[in-house]
Structure 1
């Protein structure tokens, strides 16, 4: 293995000192780049509006106002918008699993005719800008084909367009490809059907990749802005991202920052809690045993 510094040099006291110095500096820079915006938002929420507008800005608040959190929660009616966002995110997550998992399993193990071409067409949709799909998707959900239903102001307007996600199908298929065919053939010989094999065998050993797909689906639905802005004109049904943008004009900046921090807490906690599952799912390349 060739590296910029040879192993012999790294074993010397000078080499070790330089290595740990560079490593520490790089890590501190990365931590600062990610942590400072969060620190700025949290401390900014506890400043008064006059201090927030001061130039140059203060890094540490002169006076702390922790009551801003409670005021933002009650004044902006965040409980309602949290409920709307949770409903949208959970529904989008469930419908993606219900559609993407069987689709990926079929492409991986059932090998339908033209399966590779179908997958290629799915992946090609990732090259289409999301803004180019807004108008046709909006026209579709305002007059749902066959049913003739208008889904404006309904969570289904978020759920149905999110159902078939090409990237998630690709991730799932890649993972299913690593499952030994002998394992599934043994189940078939025991009389198990494809649905039973998927439910009893494939899904239990696919928990890492299911965690990755779940996180991607929930985070995407939670932070989406443009599409919920179009399909939720009723303020009472809007998600957090849309409601905060609508209220920012008449809201003190410190309360807005407090609301933004509160809105981001669930996703940050979710990512921290499931980070091991995410790494395991993304790096899984084979099955043991």
Structure 2
């Protein structure tokens, strides 16, 4: 007969043998063939390369490209074209409605009249003097200030740089009156700088944006190069003149171009500080004589006043992008 204890035993109780666990189900053998995967496109553009390489895609691409390039070029170049050709027209043709796209008779008499009647030679000479002096003072002040903040690391240098950059957030018209009072009565010295080139040169040298550009470039110069010069006995001034400035030609070119162009085209500040007719800049002189001149002569004077800045930009345009991006990456 079976034992009563075996019949009444509770599974899992002490002294009892637990039942064996069920065997896990057998795994299915893996298939040797690969499961087809979904092919994702590697190009995330508006038009796929396959469609772009098709005959219709190439036509649409070149059509859109030509239309965009021609439209933007016309938007920027057409005002210059209209100014140059407007000076070649007579006064009657210039005010004709509808206007003529090409001058009926090409003549350069307006340019000769503008040069003689408006005394552009004197005005351009004054402006060249102001722009050249502003360029020299800007390089002397901003380069040394940026070098000190970048490599010499003075006390409270970061605070000084932050205060310089804070001036970029202030509209120029807000500080024009304090700047005028400063130029009229120079602090500590009491000098009156009105109607002198110093009224243009000194404010141009105090430029926080130029100091920031120069400092960013100086930060990218390897410290080991300057330390090697210090070991050889070079002073900080010698290091700046013999090592830092030759390396920094791209950014110095950018600062030079920006300074000369700003000094050449400035109007409001020279109008305030240069009230003498013999010392006016070209922009102020043309504005003062505009009401007395025919329209074609006025346009001719504007063309001749714009030629120097356009030539400077066309000659040195590659230095602008090269200098602005030179200190952006390290390594």
TM-score bracket for this pair, using the shorter chain length: over 0.9
- Residues 75-154 of structure 1 mapped to structure 2, 5 A cutoff: 75-154=117-196
- 1:65 deviates by 2.1
SS at match of 2:103: coil
Which of the numbers 186, 211, 223 marks the counterpart of 2:228? 186
- 1:58 deviates by 1.3
Structure-1 residue corresponding to 2:198 = 156
Contact 1:84 1:239 in 2 (8 A): yes
For 1:117 and 1:200, how far apart are their aligned partners in 2?
A: 29
SS at match of 1:212: helix
Structure-1 residue corresponding to 2:302 = 260
Moved more, 243-252 or 25-34: 25-34
For 2:307 and 2:152, how far apart are their aligned partners in 1?
A: 41
- Residues 166-205 of structure 1 mapped to structure 2, 5 A cutoff: 166-205=208-247
* 2:96 is aligned with 1:54: yes
Structure-1 residue corresponding to 2:59 = 17
Larger RCO (CA within 8 A; separation ≥ 6): 1
Which has the larger helix fraction?
1
Taking structure 2 as the reference length, the TM-score comes to 0.84
For 1:110 and 1:128, how far apart are their aligned partners in 2?
A: 28
Taking structure 1 as the reference length, the TM-score comes to 0.96
For 1:15 and 1:182, how far apart are their aligned partners in 2?
A: 54
Moved more, 173-182 or 13-22: 13-22
Which of the numbers 80, 84, 87 marks the counterpart of 1:42? 84
- 1:64 deviates by 2.1
- 1:87 deviates by 0.4
Structure 2 gap segments, 5+ residues each = 1-42
* 2:73 is aligned with 1:31: yes
RMSD over equivalenced CA pairs, Å: 1.4
- 1:49 deviates by 1.1
